[in-house]
Chains A and B, each alone.
Chain A
C-alpha cells in the first residue's frame, strides 16, 4: 500500500485503537454496567433473570471486543501491549479473574434452582462487572499520570511501581468516572430493554444519579489536569516515519501539557464536550422516558470521555514517569509499516462484516424482555 505512508498508518492505527476501546465500552461496557446494577435493581429471582437475559444473547459477542482489543494492541502497538500489561501485572490478574467470573456467571446461574447458588452467582456477576469497570478507569488514570517504567538498550521493559501505588487520588477519580459512565450505559440499556415495571423504574432512578455523577467526575478530572498541572510533552524533533524505537525520542514532564492540544487546536474541544452533552442527553432521556434517546446519550458520553483521553494525550500513548526517553508515542511504539498496512487491510474487510452481523443478531433478538417470556421460555437463562 504505497498510498499510505508510515506516518499516516500510525495515525490511522491510533484512531483504530480508540475505535476498539470505544467499541468495547459501547458493547461490553453495558454488560459491565448491567452486572454492576444486578443486585441493586432486581430483588426477586424473576427480576434478576430479566436483567441477566437483557444481555443474555449478546454478552459473548461483546466479550469479543475485549479479545480483539488485546490482539489488535499486540499486533499494532506491541510496545504498548508489552509495557502496560506487564506493568499492571496484578491489576490485570484482578481484571482477568473478574472477567472470567462474568461469562461463567451468566451461563451457570440458571443451571440450578437452589437460591443460595443463584445468590452466589449474582455476587460473582456484580464483581465481574464492577471490578473491571473500576480497574480500567484506574489504569487509564495511571497512564495519564505516566507509568514508572524504563527501557534498557535491548528495549526490555522494567517496571518500578507496585499494585497499591496505582490507587492515587487522581487514578481513583478516573476509576469512579469509569464506573459512573458504564453504570449509566447499563441503566439506559435496562430502561430500554426491560418491560415497564419495578426493574425499569429502579434502573432509571440509578441512571439519573449516574448521569450526574459522570458529568461531575468528568469535570473534576478536567480541573485536576488543569490545576494539578499533569502532562508530558515531546521535546525536540521526532521523525514520524522513523523506526519504532522509543529510545530515539525525548519527552519531558511539562506541567499542564495534557490541555495544550486544546489550546493549539480549539476545535478538538468538541470531543470532551460530547462527554458532557451525551450524559446530559441520557439524563433528560431517562427523566422523560425516552429510552432510545437515553441509550444513545450514554453511548455518546462514553465516546466523548474515552475520545478525550486520546485527544489530550496525542501523540503520547504511554508516557514514562521515571525516564522520559522510554515514553511510548504514536511515532515510536507501533509495529512495522508492513504489519500496520496488512492489519489495516484485514480490519477494513472484516470489521464492517462484524458490524453487519452484530446488527443482525441484535435485530433477531429485538423486543423487550418481559417477565412472561422469562417464565415460559425454557431457552432463557
Chain B
C-alpha cells in the first residue's frame, strides 16, 4: 500500500470528521435546550418563552442543516476511501450505521421539518412532542454512531472467518452493550450539551452587553446555566477514562496520554505536566500527583497501570503468535479443508491482526526477522507528545467549563446574572473553548487508536481503497473548498441572525419581478 494514499485518506477523513463535528454537538445539545424552553412555554403559557424557543430554533436550523449535509460524506466515506475496511468489518460495523438511519436519522429528519413549519398546524403539546422527537432522534443518532466507533476501539462480539476473509458477528449483544461505546456515548453527548449551553450563554451575554432583548437573554441564560452545570460535571466525571483498562490498545492509549514509559507501582500517580521525549523514551520535568491515576483508571488501590515498554513487549509476543495465524489463513486459502491449518488458526486467531502490522515492512509476515518483529512492536505506540498535550488541553477546558457554569449558576441563583458585566464578557470569550475541547477529544480518541483502524484487528495502513494520489488530491481540494465556503456562509448567517434577534422573523422581501441571471426572461 502506497503510504501517500494512506496519509491522504487519513487527512481527508480527519478533515471531514472534524468539520462534521463542529455542527453535530451543537445540534445534540441545543435540541434538548429547545425542549426545555418549549416545555416552559407549554407549562406557563407565557408568550415570551415561545419567542425564546423560536429564536434559538432559528439558530438551531442554520447549524442543523450543515450537520446533515456533512454527515452525507461520513456515511459514504468508508466505502469511497476505506473500502478494505468496509469489506473487512462491514458485517459488524455496517449494522449500527444502518440502524442509526432507521431508528434515529429518520426520526430527527422527519420531525425537524414539522418543528419549523407546523407551529400553526399543531397544538402546543403536539409541537412540543415534535421538538422532543427531534432531540431524541439526534441523541439516538449519536448512540448508534458511537456503538460503531466503540467497536473500532474494542471489537467485541466478532471473529475472523477465513472462508469470507473478514470479521463476522458472533454476539450482537456484545457489540451493542460494549462498555467503551457506552462510556463514549455519555461523554460525547455531555460534551454536546456543554457546547450548546456555552453557545446559549455566550450569545445571551452578548445581548446583555449590548442591552438588547434583555428579558429573553436573562431567561435563556438561566436555562443554559443550569443545563450547562449538569453537563459540564457529567462530561468530566463520566469521561471515558473508565474504558481505558479494557484492551491492550486502550491501555496503550492511556499510557501515551500519561507519557508513562514504564509500569509504575500501584496506585499510579498522574502526571500533570512534563515534556515527553521520544528519543530517550522518558518524560522530563515531570510534575506528578501520587495515586490519582491508579484510582481513576483501575478504580482500585492495588491494580497497576501498564506502561508503554511493557505493553510493547506484550505486542511483540502477540505479533509472533499472529504470524502462526497468518500462516494458517494462507494455507486455508489454498485448501479450506486443511485440518492442521484450522487447528493452528484456532490457537492463534486472537493475534491475526498483530501479524498484519508486519505488512508495513514485509510483504509476507511469515518472512519477518525477530528484529523486524521487535521494531514493529513499537509501532503500537501512538504519537505520545500529541496525545499528552491534546488530552491536557481538553481536560483543562473541561475544568474551565465547570468553573464557568458554576459561576453562571451561582449568579443566576442570586439573581445577579442581569447585572454582572464581567461575567458577560467572560461568557462571550468562552464561546470557542468547548469546540476546541471537542475536536481535541476526537484527536485523543482516534489518534490514540493508531496504528489500528480496528484495535488489534486491522492496521490503518491496510484499510484504504486502492485509489490514486491525483484522485485523493482532487477530493481533498474539492471538500476543502466546498466546506470552507459553506463555513464562511454559515458563520455570516449565524451572526446576522443573532444581530437580528428574536423579534423580527418576517422575511424581508426583494422587489417583485424577475430575478437577475435567470434562464427565462419574462
| B263 at interface by CB-CB < 8 Å | no
| A357 at interface by CB-CB < 8 Å | yes
Contact call B90/A378, Cβ cutoff below 8 A: no
Contact call B512/A70, Cβ cutoff below 8 A: no
A107-B65, A379-B116 are contacts. A86–B81 as well, Cβ < 8 Å? yes
Checking A64, A79, A97, A336 against B482 with a beta-carbon cut-off of 8 angstroms, the contacting residue is A97
* CB-defined contacts of B279 to chain A, threshold 8 Å: none
Contact call A116/B516, Cβ cutoff below 8 A: yes
Contact call B81/A76, Cβ cutoff below 8 A: no
Main secondary structure of the interface of B (DSSP, over half): helix
| B502 at interface by CB-CB < 8 Å | no
Encode contact with B along A27-50: 1 for CB under 8 Å, 0 otherwise: 000000000000110011110100
| B283 at interface by CB-CB < 8 Å | no
A118-B515, A119-B518 are contacts. A338–B467 as well, Cβ < 8 Å? no
* CB-defined contacts of B520 to chain A, threshold 8 Å: 39-40, 43
Closest chain A residue to B119, Cβ basis: A379
* CB-defined contacts of B170 to chain A, threshold 8 Å: 338
* CB-defined contacts of B474 to chain A, threshold 8 Å: 90, 93
Closest chain-A Cβ to B498's Cβ sits at a distance in Å of 13
Give CA–CA (A364, B491) in the complex, Å. Answer: 32
Checking B113, B517, B518 against A43 with a beta-carbon cut-off of 8 angstroms, the contacting residue is B518
| B102 at interface by CB-CB < 8 Å | yes
A115-B515, A245-B165 are contacts. A82–B119 as well, Cβ < 8 Å? no
Encode contact with A along B447-483: 1 for CB under 8 Å, 0 otherwise: 0000000000000000001110001001100110010
A115-B516, A243-B163 are contacts. A71–B98 as well, Cβ < 8 Å? yes
Contact call A90/B78, Cβ cutoff below 8 A: no
Which residues in chain B, 61-78, are within 8 Å of chain A measured between CB atoms?
A: 61-62, 65-66, 68-73, 75-76, 78
Encode contact with B along A346-381: 1 for CB under 8 Å, 0 otherwise: 110011001001100100110000000001011110
Encode contact with B along A93-123: 1 for CB under 8 Å, 0 otherwise: 1001101100110111011111110110010
| A157 at interface by CB-CB < 8 Å | yes
| A85 at interface by CB-CB < 8 Å | yes
Encode contact with A along B82-95: 1 for CB under 8 Å, 0 otherwise: 01101100111111
Closest chain B residue to A49, Cβ basis: B507
Contact call A70/B105, Cβ cutoff below 8 A: no
Give CA–CA (A46, B97) in the complex, Å. Answer: 40
Give CA–CA (A45, B507) in the complex, Å. Answer: 13
Encode contact with A along B132-167: 1 for CB under 8 Å, 0 otherwise: 000000000000000000000000000001011110
Main secondary structure of the interface of A (DSSP, over half): helix
Contact call A157/B97, Cβ cutoff below 8 A: no
Closest chain-B Cβ to A358's Cβ sits at a distance in Å of 6
| A89 at interface by CB-CB < 8 Å | yes
Checking B66, B80, B112, B169 against A92 with a beta-carbon cut-off of 8 angstroms, the contacting residue is B80
* CB-defined contacts of A292 to chain B, threshold 8 Å: none
Closest chain B residue to A78, Cβ basis: B90
Closest chain B residue to A340, Cβ basis: B91
Contact call A61/B106, Cβ cutoff below 8 A: yes
Give CA–CA (A365, B493) in the complex, Å. Answer: 27
Checking B78, B90, B113, B513 against A57 with a beta-carbon cut-off of 8 angstroms, the contacting residue is B113
Contact call A336/B168, Cβ cutoff below 8 A: yes
Contact call A64/B105, Cβ cutoff below 8 A: yes
A93-B475, A108-B489, A115-B510 are contacts. A43–B522 as well, Cβ < 8 Å? yes
Give CA–CA (A90, B482) in the complex, Å. Answer: 15
Contact call B164/A243, Cβ cutoff below 8 A: yes
Give CA–CA (A57, B116) in the complex, Å. Answer: 8
A338-B168, A338-B169 are contacts. A157–B486 as well, Cβ < 8 Å? no
Encode contact with B along A142-165: 1 for CB under 8 Å, 0 otherwise: 000000000001111111000000
Contact call B93/A74, Cβ cutoff below 8 A: yes
Closest chain-B Cβ to A81's Cβ sits at a distance in Å of 5
| B79 at interface by CB-CB < 8 Å | yes
Checking A43, A70, A78, A89 against B465 with a beta-carbon cut-off of 8 angstroms, the contacting residue is A89
Closest chain-B Cβ to A66's Cβ sits at a distance in Å of 7
Give CA–CA (A100, B65) in the complex, Å. Answer: 9
Give CA–CA (A100, B170) in the complex, Å. Answer: 37
Contact call B79/A103, Cβ cutoff below 8 A: no
Closest chain A residue to B172, Cβ basis: A342
| A170 at interface by CB-CB < 8 Å | no
Which residues in chain A, 210-248, are within 8 Å of chain B measured between CB atoms?
A: 243-245
Give CA–CA (A379, B486) in the complex, Å. Answer: 23
* CB-defined contacts of A156 to chain B, threshold 8 Å: 84, 87, 466
Closest chain-B Cβ to A371's Cβ sits at a distance in Å of 11
Closest chain B residue to A100, Cβ basis: B69
Give CA–CA (A350, B87) in the complex, Å. Answer: 26
Contact call A115/B110, Cβ cutoff below 8 A: no
| B47 at interface by CB-CB < 8 Å | no
Closest chain-B Cβ to A32's Cβ sits at a distance in Å of 14
Give CA–CA (A107, B165) in the complex, Å. Answer: 45
Contact call A68/B102, Cβ cutoff below 8 A: yes
Contact call A72/B98, Cβ cutoff below 8 A: yes
Closest chain A residue to B81, Cβ basis: A86
* CB-defined contacts of B66 to chain A, threshold 8 Å: 104
Closest chain A residue to B134, Cβ basis: A60
Give CA–CA (A108, B488) in the complex, Å. Answer: 13
Closest chain B residue to A367, Cβ basis: B121
Give CA–CA (A378, B515) in the complex, Å. Answer: 21
| B313 at interface by CB-CB < 8 Å | no
Give CA–CA (A210, B117) in the complex, Å. Answer: 31
| B264 at interface by CB-CB < 8 Å | no
Contact call B467/A89, Cβ cutoff below 8 A: yes
Contact call A85/B522, Cβ cutoff below 8 A: no
Contact call B65/A108, Cβ cutoff below 8 A: yes
Closest chain B residue to A335, Cβ basis: B91
Contact call A63/B109, Cβ cutoff below 8 A: yes
Checking A83, A153, A343 against B98 with a beta-carbon cut-off of 8 angstroms, the contacting residue is A343
A43-B518, A74-B94, A119-B518 are contacts. A89–B80 as well, Cβ < 8 Å? yes
| A59 at interface by CB-CB < 8 Å | yes
Closest chain-A Cβ to B478's Cβ sits at a distance in Å of 6
Known A70-B79, A351-B102; 4 more pairs at CB < 8 Å: A71-B94, A71-B100, A89-B80, A92-B76
**3 nearest CB pairs, A to B:** A78-B90, A85-B79, A75-B94
Q: List 26 A-B contacts (CB under 8 A).
A: A39-B520, A45-B509, A45-B510, A48-B515, A57-B116, A60-B108, A60-B112, A66-B72, A68-B98, A78-B87, A81-B90, A82-B86, A82-B465, A84-B79, A93-B475, A99-B72, A104-B489, A111-B497, A119-B517, A155-B87, A244-B164, A336-B91, A336-B161, A339-B92, A350-B103, A379-B119
Residues of A participating in the B interface, judged by any CB pair closer than 8 Å: 39-40, 43-46, 48, 56-61, 63-64, 66-68, 70-76, 78-79, 81-86, 89-90, 92-93, 96-97, 99-100, 103-104, 106-108, 110-116, 118-119, 122, 153-159, 243-245, 335-336, 338-339, 342-343, 346-347, 350-351, 354, 357-358, 361, 364-365, 375, 377-380
